[in-house]
Amino acid sequence: MKLIAPWQPVRPLILTAVLGLAACGSDAPEVVEHADSWFNARVASDIEAELIAPNFVYQVMPERMAEAERILEAIAISQISPGEAAYFAGQPVELPDVTRPYLIRGLYRTERSFSVHIVGNALWVVSHDVPADSAPMQRQPLLLIMDEVPARVFVTTGQ
């Protein structure tokens, strides 16, 4: 007959509790809740982000934001016509050869300014918010002039 110490049956539970408490230390990654479905974090990679010139990025006029949001409801980027580009920007938009206008998603917290980057075959739209800013996210559709449609669109704030 094998004798079992009284604590042996709960050994796995103790080990699980100790490991769980260790994971709660300051080195554990922080889980951040993102309240907006437009948020799509960029996956870390070694690919360098190339900035798209600011004169190729326009904010959609406040009076036309709801309409732009409806277009971007189910997709992160939508090609539009040159006439629609001027309509959403509220000003004439110059389209260099081989470029097309697109509506894309953008989010911000308090700073309504953005950078758009090409990362491999993806776009990364980021607001210029302070990373620790805890204000609620707000949507800001953007007009982007570029030559090809990216495979993915990442949308973040304060990076």
86 located within any domain:
yes
Residue 11 belongs to what H/E stretch?
Answer: helix 11-23
The token duo for 43 is: 């996956």
| Domain that includes residue 46, residue range | 34-156
The whole-model pTM stands at 0.76
pLDDT(1) > 60: no
4 located within any domain:
no
Res 3: pLDDT: 39
7 located within any domain:
no
The token duo for 146 is: 């570029």
76 located within any domain:
yes
Q: What does the pLDDT average to over 118-138?
A: 93
Res 99: pLDDT: 95
pLDDT(103) > 80: yes
22 located within any domain:
no
Residue 87 belongs to what H/E stretch?
Answer: helix 82-89
Closest CA to 59 of 109, 99, 134, 115: 115
* Predicted confidence (pLDDT) per residue in 46-90, tens digit: 888 999 999 999 999 999 999 999 999 999 999 999 999 999 999
58 located within any domain:
yes
Q: Is 152 exposed, middle or buried (0-12, 13-18, 19+ CB in 10 A)?
A: middle
Query: Residue 34's pLDDT band (boundaries 50, 70, 90)?
Result: low
* Predicted confidence (pLDDT) per residue in 129-151, tens digit: 998 889 999 999 999 999 988 88
The token duo for 57 is: 């990025």
Across 15-19, 44-48, 110-114, which has the greatest mean pLDDT? 110-114
Pairing outcome for strands 138-139 and 57-59: unpaired
11 located within any domain:
no
Distance of alpha carbon 64 from alpha carbon 83, whole angstroms: 14
14 located within any domain:
no
Please state the domain count of the chain: 1
